[in-house]
Amino acid sequence: MAEKVLMKGNEAIAEAALRAGCLHYFGYPITPQTELTAYMAKRLPKMEGGVFLQAESEISAINMVYGVASTGKRVMTSSSSPGVSLKQEGISYIAGSDLPAVIVNVQRGGPGLGGIQPSQSDYFQATKGGGHGDYHLIVLTPSSVQEMADLTSLAFDLADKYRCPAMLLADGTMGQMMEPVALPEPHKSIIEKPWAVTGTQMKREHNIINSLYLQPEILEKTNFDRFERYRQIEENEVRYESYLMDDAEYCIVAFGIAARVAKNAITMMRKYGLKVGLIRPITVWPFPKKAIKDAADKVKGFVSVELSMGQMIEDVRLAEECKRPVVLCNRAGGMIPGVDQIIAVTKDLVCSVEGGAR
Amino acid sequence: MTLFCGHYGSGKTNLAVNYALSLRQKGIEVSLADLDIVNPYFRSKDSTAELEAAGVRVIALPFANSSVDLPSLPSSAYSLVQDRSRYAVLDIGGDDRGAYALGRFVPYILEENDFEMLYVVNFYRPLTTTAEEAFEVLREIEGACGLTFTGIVNNSNLGAETTVEIIEKTCGKAQRLCEMTGLPLVAVTAEKSIAGPDMVPVVLQKRPFEN
């Protein structure tokens, strides 16, 4: 394994993208993801073929991504919540044009301009569309600086494989915290891109990148074809971590920073004999529906721990098909649920299921 | 006056906080200035309660930790250079960008001409993994602030995975950086629980998100 370095999560994403052969980056700085843009600004101009451009706005940055993605080159943009809202139109166009690209959201508290502390309240935006039309993003949620790097590599590979945009859904803590990381070895896309706009050399028909289809029959077909690919993604690309679930009587569902706090809470609760486990979605689209559904046959209840007013909890309820109670343990606006809070909410759930006092 | 400068995330803040507290323990009147205009997170100001309890005067950006992302310096920062009765420890933001904040104080610092400016380096940071890269950042900082360094602190670490061996592996690089710059190696630092006899032990500033 490569020698480790000490990196901020934002830097790890940037370096992993470079090592995945991403030589094109367009963005606009915003706290708490600015180190990512700054790192790209330092490194890309020194690399052969590297292009860094700080656009005048997030809207122009995402449209530059749209342009480079059309040529089949690996390309990335990053921002934080308000900036990602600005990118939604472009993301819909990229999805509608069946192009691979990687979009990073290092979330902060909202809505509106919100704050600069960590949040997970863009879950709906990331997993349920965000922009207009029928489309999905592959959404990956890192829970350590190491995963910031590893999932960035994966995001590029999956985006290329399925010709759709992929999103890294991180949060302010993941972006800012420093941890040792073994960086992935440099690798490039091995996937052929015969659809790319690269010049015909007078040897083939023009490739046309477009999301406008005025004949509804044809537009419908592009949607059906795209959703066939989404079905394959749901079948093949679900990723999650199962932690102490073998003997668990209660299941916490949490991703990102919330999952780290949840693990500490689980360690404490197990000391008191309360058998709690964790399902940590690594992909939140596709959501690990089957893992949750299977868990519902074994556990007595679920706790969804989130840095939002309760967004993922809807996917948990859909996945477990209302077999067990699902309760929310949350903070919002940039606050993080603590170990004590998770234990208290879990104990309340235990009491309501099994009776008795806390 | 001691100034801590270096690359982003090299450990300047931790060292500044530790150094201010160690001076205070010796009975010296000391002010610690958090002059980081670059990064709104993980700053000296986070340790204000501990520092003030120990009798250290904390001077920080008025909007630091208020979630207002505004890099303005307080007027009280001039007391760092004008009040010569107190020792001043300055925690400067990362890279050349952070060092720009020093500019307005430089004439006073040069006039008094009684300062040390330490270059904090962690060779496990990705943009300063070699002596050559660290040298480049060092010169950029000097160019931005108009002061020249007086010494080097090897603060190499891998966070929670740091061992004495991991630190010792960087000694050659630190030596080479000293040769390139002609500067002395002022200290090799290590987290208190692992520090060897020839290392300066450092207590880590509490960070809210670590598990």
Alpha-carbon separation of residue B173 from B123, B185, B188 (angstroms): 8, 11, 12
Q: Judge whether A199 lies within some domain.
A: no
| pLDDT higher than threshold 60 for residue A124 | yes
pLDDT for res B211: 40
Q: Is A313 on the interface with B (CB under 8 A)?
A: no
Residues A173-198 have a mean pLDDT of: 93
Structural domains in chain A (count)? 2
Range of the domain at B153: 2-202
Q: Judge whether B153 lies within some domain.
A: yes
Q: Judge whether B137 lies within some domain.
A: yes
Residue A243 DSSP class: E
pLDDT for res B46: 86
Q: Judge whether B211 lies within some domain.
A: no
Exposure b/e, A157-174, CB count within 10 A at least 16 = b: bbbbbbbbbbbbbbbbbb
Q: Judge whether B209 lies within some domain.
A: no
A232/A84 same-domain check: yes
B190: domain CATH number is 3.40.50.300
Q: Judge whether A172 lies within some domain.
A: yes
Query: How many CB pairs below 8 Å do chains A and B form together?
Result: 59
Residue written as token pair 């040069």: B110
A261/A231 same-domain check: no
A167/A225 same-domain check: yes
pLDDT for res B38: 83
Range of the domain at A317: 241-354
Q: Is A113 on the interface with B (CB under 8 A)?
A: no
Min Cα–Cα distance to chain A from B68, Å:
8
Cβ contact B158–A334 (<8 Å): no
A270/A182 same-domain check: no
| pLDDT higher than threshold 80 for residue A302 | yes
A66 or B206, which is more confident? A66
pLDDT tens for chain B, 211 residues long, are 999 999 999 999 999 999 999 999 999 999 999 998 888 788 888 889 999 999 999 998 877 766 666 778 888 899 998 888 999 999 999 999 899 999 899 999 999 899 999 999 999 999 999 999 999 999 999 999 999 999 999 999 999 999 999 999 999 999 999 999 999 999 999 999 999 999 999 998 876 545 4
pLDDT for res A358: 59
What rounded mean pLDDT belongs to chain A?
96
The minimal CB distance from A5 to the residues B40, B69, B126 is found for B126
A216/A289 same-domain check: no
Span A27-59, pLDDT tens digits: 999 999 999 999 999 999 999 999 999 999 999
pLDDT for res B208: 56
Q: Is B113 on the interface with A (CB under 8 A)?
A: no
| pLDDT higher than threshold 70 for residue A187 | yes
Span A265-276, pLDDT tens digits: 999 999 999 999
Q: A16 to chain B: nearest residue by CA?
A: B126
A267/A226 same-domain check: no
Return the closest-CA partner of residue A29 out of B39, B126, B103, B61. Answer: B39
Mutate to test the interface with A, among B36, B41, B204 (most CBs of A within 10 A): B41
ipTM value of the model?
Answer: 0.88
Cβ contact A5–B125 (<8 Å): yes
pLDDT for res B62: 77
A331 or B97, which is more confident? A331
A214/A304 same-domain check: no
Q: Is A278 on the interface with B (CB under 8 A)?
A: no
A175: domain CATH number is 3.40.50.970
Residues A199-205 have a mean pLDDT of: 93
Min Cα–Cα distance to chain A from B40, Å:
9
Cβ contact A6–B124 (<8 Å): yes
A212/A146 same-domain check: yes
The minimal CB distance from B157 to the residues A6, A11, A117 is found for A6
Q: A14 to chain B: nearest residue by CA?
A: B126
Q: Judge whether A144 lies within some domain.
A: yes
Structural domains in chain B (count)? 1
Q: Is A47 on the interface with B (CB under 8 A)?
A: no
Cβ contact B42–A31 (<8 Å): no
pLDDT for res A65: 98
A300/A261 same-domain check: yes
pLDDT for res B207: 64
CA–CA dist A207, A198 (Å, integer):
8
Return the closest-CA partner of residue A256 out of A193, A189, A181, A170. Answer: A170
What angle separates helix A145-162 from helix A9-19, to the nearest 10 degrees? Answer: 40
Q: Judge whether B210 lies within some domain.
A: no
Mutate to test the interface with A, among B66, B158, B169, B189 (most CBs of A within 10 A): B158
